[in-house]
A = this chain, B = another copy of it.
Amino acid sequence: MSQTPDSAVREYIDQHRAAFLADLAEWLRIPSVSAQPQHAPDVRRSADWLASTLKETGFPTAEVWQTPGAPAVYAEWPSDDPQAPTVLVYGHHDVQPAAREDGWDSDPFEPVVRDDRLHARGAADDKGQVFFHTLGVRAHLAATGRTTPAVNLKLLIEGEEESGSPHFRVLVQEHAWRLAADAVIVSDTGMWSEDTPTVCTGMRGLAECEIRLYGPDQDVHSGSFGGAVPNPATAAARLVAALHDEHARVAIPGFYDGVVDLTDHERALFAELPFDERQWLRTAKSYATEGEAGYTTLERVWARPTAEVNGIGGGYQGPGSKTIIPSSAMVKLSFRLVAGQDPDQVEQLVRAWAADRLPAGIRHEITFSTATRPCLTPLDHPALQSVVRAMGRAFGRPVRYTREGGSGPAADLQEVLGAPVLFLGISVPSDGWHAPNEKIELDRLLKGAETTAYLWGDLAEHWRHAP
CB-based contact B315/A314 at 8 Å = no
Q: Nearest B residue to A203 by beta-carbon distance? A: B223
Q: Say how far A270's CB is from chain B's closest CB, in angstroms.
A: 13
Contact with B along A428-449 (1 / 0, CB 8 A): 0000000000000000000000
Give the distance in Å from the alpha carbon of A4 to the alpha carbon of B326 in the complex: 53
Q: Which residues of B contact A324 (CB under 8 A)?
A: 310
Contact with B along A218-245 (1 / 0, CB 8 A): 1011111111111101101111111110
Q: Which residues of B contact A217 (CB under 8 A)?
A: 285-286
- In the complex, the count of this chain's copies comes to 2
Interface residues of A in 270-294 (CB under 8 A from B): 281, 284-292
Q: Nearest B residue to A335 by beta-carbon distance? A: B226
Number of interface residues of A (CB under 8 A): 81
Contact with B along A348-387 (1 / 0, CB 8 A): 0000000000011111000001000000000000000000
Contact with B along A296-315 (1 / 0, CB 8 A): 01001100101111111111
Instruction: Tell me, yes or no, whether A320 is within 8 Å of chain B by CB.
Output: yes
Instruction: Tell me, yes or no, whether A204 is within 8 Å of chain B by CB.
Output: yes
Selected from B216, B221, B311, B327, the residue in CB contact (under 8 A) with A326 is B311
CB-based contact B310/A313 at 8 Å = no
Question: A204, A300, A334: which has the most chain B beta carbons within 10 Å?
Answer: A334
Selected from B216, B241, B281, B406, the residue in CB contact (under 8 A) with A286 is B216
Q: Nearest B residue to A210 by beta-carbon distance? A: B321
Instruction: Tell me, yes or no, whether A96 is within 8 Å of chain B by CB.
Output: no
Q: Say how far A88's CB is from chain B's closest CB, in angstroms.
A: 23
CB-based contact A292/B210 at 8 Å = no
Instruction: Tell me, yes or no, whether A420 is within 8 Å of chain B by CB.
Output: no
Q: Say how far A320's CB is from chain B's closest CB, in angstroms.
A: 6
Instruction: Tell me, yes or no, whether A140 is within 8 Å of chain B by CB.
Output: no
Q: Say how far A120's CB is from chain B's closest CB, in angstroms.
A: 23
Instruction: Tell me, yes or no, whether A400 is within 8 Å of chain B by CB.
Output: no
CB-based contact B311/A314 at 8 Å = yes
CB-based contact B286/A233 at 8 Å = no
CB-based contact B285/A222 at 8 Å = no
CB-based contact B224/A301 at 8 Å = yes
CB-based contact B286/A229 at 8 Å = yes
CB-based contact B316/A226 at 8 Å = no
Give the distance in Å from the alpha carbon of A404 to the alpha carbon of B362 in the complex: 26
Give the distance in Å from the alpha carbon of A370 to the alpha carbon of B288 in the complex: 34
Contact with B along A136-152 (1 / 0, CB 8 A): 00000000000000000
Instruction: Tell me, yes or no, whether A407 is within 8 Å of chain B by CB.
Output: yes
Contact with B along A34-54 (1 / 0, CB 8 A): 000000000000000000000
22 CB-based A-B contacts, threshold 8 Å: A216-B286, A220-B284, A223-B406, A226-B405, A227-B308, A227-B336, A228-B291, A229-B288, A229-B290, A230-B286, A233-B240, A233-B311, A234-B240, A236-B312, A237-B238, A237-B312, A288-B362, A289-B361, A290-B359, A312-B315, A322-B332, A323-B406
Interface residues of A (CB under 8 A from B): 204, 206, 208, 210, 215-218, 220-231, 233-234, 236-244, 248, 281, 284-292, 297, 300-301, 304, 306-317, 320-327, 329, 331-332, 334, 336, 359-363, 369, 404-407
